[in-house]
Amino acid sequence: MDSRPIGVFDSGMGGLTVLHECLVTLPHEDFVYLGDGARLPYGPRPLPEVRRFAREIASYLAASDVKLILVACNTATSAALPELQGELEVPVVGVITPEAHAAVQATRNRRIGLLATQATVTAGRYERLVRTLDAGAELIPVACPRLVPLIESDDPFGEQTVAAVRDYAAPLKAACVDTVILGCTHYPLIRPILQRVFGRDVTLVFSAEETAHEVAETLARKGIENDEEREGAYRFLTTGDPELFRAMGRRFLQLPIDAAEHVELSALEAAAA
């Protein structure tokens, strides 16, 4: 048994939707979550910059003696996962591979849509994975720069969000996709709006559950699970405002967040030096 925690990170709070599934799937494990609130959003940033941020955070978590790192951010996974897996001794899991696999399994006409940040679309990682799994499948990506700010606003289910979803859905509906990957950890929060706009005939894929199962399988394969008889704990770190993280984070986690600790950016930079 290995009692060390699992490290999870994201540019902000969207990754809490993935953490929620991990807490349900692995209730006996401890988790430490780091949200990079001081530098969000990652989506509009150049890929090399996102890669540097991810390397700093992952190095910081590895130095904090976590036993596995989950990159609970589609943009950071797109930009940095192979590099992190090659550089760090601790196992590193991302969120994209489970989603690509689920989409290929779900599609009937082999036309798959992707809603994601600009950086995730630019990286092209989803397209490569989908083509690897099914060379005959077509991926139609759409960058959605307006969605994350709207989802984090005081009115995430308002008319502005509905209008933005309609705009981003239009090219995918025109392309007759039957499956859409929600390629950002924020998007499940507005899943009812997305499903209404696309209709029931379109399958929405967000694989937080599959990602949690991949974490569980990796722990088992490495022999580093915790004692299944115990109840795990979780704690939160942020480079941004701890009170804002605590208040808004509950919306994403759907569980109590009693407190969040502040981490200076200089500490992350030092860890990767």
Active site residues: 73, 184
Residue 139, beta-bridge partner list:
112
Alpha-carbon span 213 to 215, nearest angstrom: 5
* Distances 32 to 21, 72, 126, 193 between C-alpha atoms, Å: 14, 12, 27, 31
Residue 239 DSSP one-character state:
S
Q: How many CB atoms lie within 10 A of CB 177?
A: 25
Phi-psi region of 254 (alpha: psi -120 to 50; beta: other; left: phi over 0): left
Q: Is 85 exposed, middle or buried (0-12, 13-18, 19+ CB in 10 A)?
A: middle
Q: How many CB atoms lie within 10 A of CB 138?
A: 16
Q: Is 229 exposed, middle or buried (0-12, 13-18, 19+ CB in 10 A)?
A: exposed
Structure tokens at 86: 């090659």
Is the bond preceding residue 141 a cis peptide, omega within 30 degrees? no
Identify residue 72 by its one-letter amino acid code: A
Report the SS3 class of residue 59.
Answer: helix
What residue ranges in 84-202 does DSSP mark as E strands?
A: 92-93, 111-116, 138-143, 179-183
